[in-house]
């Protein structure tokens, strides 16, 4: 099994979050990875891409009517429909991921709750983070542990700011940060000494500038990738971090600042309405 990818990493174009230049498309980079990585490392890429499958699956099971599939995931629309109708067609790893989600849906049905898109994606995210935070690859486990806590902090701040009682934090085992987010009434949820970016997020929500806030969030993710890979040079972790960064860059290129503000505002409104249902 190869452990270093000197040529591939040394040939990567430099990425910047703020210059809105895209060296090549995410799907092109994914294909390049699959052509050059050994089978175990290719599986790492597939695991990360579940983050793009989740919204697609949520649309399907909730019947939201959204047909604009994110093509950067592992599966096509027809494949996902088939998987839910015929789970025996899944390989072992895919089956485990989808089956855990289906079991969660069955639990919701037993409680007579409505499965809207927000709830479907919440269940998927808990399954996703549970998988990634226990991942054998240290970059994946470290990054997604960070992202899990970041996402929960954002949920907690949103719940307080917009006064939406139906917002639930994601739960994957015991976590001290999540415990404080649930119980603390302090402005920074009592996390000022353990989460160095908490105050910047609280302040960003006070600004009511959704583009500024979204950019700050992506900068936090970007900086975390750099921090994890500080002393990593030619190993697969660099490529995994580059993939996540490239997906962020592609997201920002897809919209102008004005278009981004309108898009983020509309998404935020829709999400809040779904949560209230």
pLDDT tens for the 277 residues of the chain, in order: 457 899 999 999 999 988 777 667 899 999 999 999 999 999 999 999 999 888 888 887 777 666 567 778 888 777 777 777 776 666 666 656 667 776 777 666 555 556 677 788 888 898 899 889 999 999 999 999 999 999 999 999 998 888 877 778 888 878 889 999 999 999 999 999 999 999 999 999 998 788 899 999 999 999 999 999 999 889 999 999 999 999 999 888 877 654 555 655 554 544 544 444 4
Asked if residues 104 and 127 have their Cβ atoms less than 8 Å apart, the reply is: yes
CA distance 145 to 201: 18
> Whole-prediction pTM value?
0.86
The torsion of the CA quartet 134, 135, 140, 145, rounded to 10 degrees, works out to -10
Asked if residues 243 and 33 have their Cβ atoms less than 8 Å apart, the reply is: yes
Q: For 87, which DSSP code?
A: G
CA distance 269 to 47: 30
Q: Could you give phi then psi for residue 87, rounded to 5 degrees? A: -60, -20
Q: Which helix (H) or strand (E) holds 274?
A: helix 257-276
Q: Which two tokens stand for residue 235?
A: 């190993």
């Amino acid at each position: 099994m190869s452990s270093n990818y000197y040529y591939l990493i040394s040939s990567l174009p430099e990425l910047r979050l703020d210059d809105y230049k895209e060296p090549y498309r995410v799907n092109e980079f994914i294909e390049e990875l699959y052509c050059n990585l050994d089978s175990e490392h290719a599986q790492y890429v597939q695991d990360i891409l579940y983050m793009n499958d989740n919204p697609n699956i949520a649309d399907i099971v909730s019947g939201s009517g959204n047909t604009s599939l994110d093509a950067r995931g592992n599966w096509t629309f027809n494949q996902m429909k088939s998987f839910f109708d015929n789970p025996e067609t899944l390989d072992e790893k895919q089956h485990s991921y989808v089956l855990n989600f289906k079991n969660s849906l069955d639990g919701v049905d037993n409680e007579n709750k409505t499965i809207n898109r927000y709830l479907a994606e919440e269940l998927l995210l808990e399954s996703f983070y549970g998988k990634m935070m226990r991942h054998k690859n240290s970059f994946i486990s470290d990054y997604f542990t960070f992202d899990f806590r970041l996402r929960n902090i954002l949920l907690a701040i949103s719940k307080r700011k917009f006064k939406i009682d139906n917002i639930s934090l994601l739960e994957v085992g015991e976590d001290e940060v999540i415990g404080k987010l649930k119980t603390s009434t302090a402005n920074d949820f009592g996390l000022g000494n353990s989460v160095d970016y908490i105050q910047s997020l609280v302040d960003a929500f006070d600004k009511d500038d959704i583009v500024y806030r979204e950019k700050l969030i992506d900068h936090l993710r970007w900086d975390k990738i750099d921090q994890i890979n500080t002393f990593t040079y030619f190993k697969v972790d660099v490529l995994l971090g580059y993939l996540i960064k490239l997906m962020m860059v592609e997201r920002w290129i897809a919209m102008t600042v004005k278009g981004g503000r309108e898009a983020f505002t509309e998404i935020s409104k829709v999400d809040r309405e779904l949560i209230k249902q």
